[in-house]
Homo-oligomer: A and B are copies of this chain.
Amino acid sequence: MNTPALVGTARTAQEAREAFRLWLREHGLPVTGQRLAIAEVVIGSADHLSAEEVAQGLEAHGEKAGTATVYRTLDLLVKSGLVVERDFGEGFRRFEAARDVPHHEHLLCTECGAVQEFRDERLERMTTLIAEAHDFARQGHRLVIRGVCSACRRGTRPSDVRR
């Protein structure tokens, strides 16, 4: 439920496990069942998951991990580059598989919380020029467009519960 259209394709659960296992090995860190399971949930999902949703995803797979472990593993996944951290100003963070897409922006539905992604080359150039003009060494940017998605406008979506 609530699986917004995406720019790229999430990799398979298996690929997720193996990619993370490799990274852990390379860094001399123990490969544990929890770590692989969490990688599978986050990287295998096409959604932008909150820490809580990751924990729920684990249980759906018949696995589980304590809250602390979920957060600690998410940090590792971000460090490994396999996962990207997002902040849509909801008061908590979301985690998204780092796909092959170099960079993309987000459309956030203020009704149901659904997220759509899109890419716009112009934005890349535009923000670079703007940063230059203000004598900033640009590191990156974030654009979130807020609005109401078509499903919510039509009253279709059965009111997701999002905080």
A residues lining the B interface (CB < 8 Å): 87, 89, 105, 107, 109-110, 116, 118, 120, 122-123, 126-127, 130-131, 133-150, 153
Which chain B residue lies CB-closest to A146? B139
Query: How many identical subunits does the complex contain?
Result: 2
Contact status A146-B135, CB under 8 Å: no
Within the assembled complex, what's the spacing in Å between the Cα atoms of A109 and B138?
9
**Top 9 A-B pairs ranked by shortest CB distance?**
A87-B89, A136-B147, A135-B150, A141-B145, A138-B147, A137-B148, A139-B146, A143-B143, A139-B147
* Complex partner residue of A134 from B87, B118, B123, B141, CB under 8 angstroms: B118
How distant is the Cα of A88 from the Cα of B157 in the complex, in angstroms? 30
Chain B: which residue is nearest A138 at the CB level?
B147
Q: Report the Cα distance A117→B89, complex, angstroms.
A: 19
Minimum CB–CB distance from A84 to chain B (whole Å) comes to 13
- How long is the Cα–Cα vector from A159 to B148 in the complex, in angstroms? 41
Write out the residue numbers on chain B whose beta carbons fall within 8 Å of the beta carbon of A141. 143-146
Q: Is the CB of B139 within 8 A of A142?
A: no
Contact A145 B127 (CB under 8 A): yes
Closest residue of B by beta carbon distance from A147: B136
Given contacts A146-B140, A148-B136, contact A107 B130 (CB under 8 A): yes
In the complex formed, the residue of B with least CB distance to A144 is B142
From B110, B134, B150, contact of A107 by CB (8 A): B134
Inter-chain contacts of A138 with B (CB < 8 A): 145-147
List 26 interface pairs A-B (beta carbons < 8 Å), by A numbering.
Answer: A87-B89, A89-B89, A89-B142, A105-B130, A107-B131, A109-B136, A118-B134, A120-B126, A120-B130, A122-B126, A123-B126, A130-B145, A131-B147, A135-B149, A135-B150, A136-B149, A137-B147, A138-B146, A138-B147, A139-B146, A139-B147, A141-B145, A141-B146, A142-B142, A142-B144, A143-B143
